[in-house]
Amino acid sequence: MALDEPRETDEVFHINGFQFIVDKAFYKKAQPITVDFVGYGFRITSSLPLGQGGGCGGCQGSCSTGD
């Protein structure tokens, strides 16, 4: 998850006062995508399985960040 500006290749969602931008090709592969605020970070889940070498510590299907 990062701050970004929408491009022509992005799908833009406006939900509860927030704007979410997802690359259209990635969205087709990953949908449905869910973003939840949990404690001090976000949990992002999708239909894509995470591999053991993923950048979020080997979590199963979702990641939380402390940002």
Averaged pLDDT for residues 24-39: 91
pLDDT, tens digit (0-9, with 9 covering 90-100), for 38-61: 988 888 889 988 765 444 444 444
Share the mean pLDDT of the chain. 79
Contact between 48 and 54 (Cβ < 8 Å): no
> How far is CA 57 from each of CA 35, 41, 49, rounded to the nearest angstrom?
18, 15, 14
Q: Taking the CB of residue 61, how many other CB atoms lie within 10 A of it?
A: 12
Tokens of 48: 């894509």
Domain residue ranges in the chain: 10-64
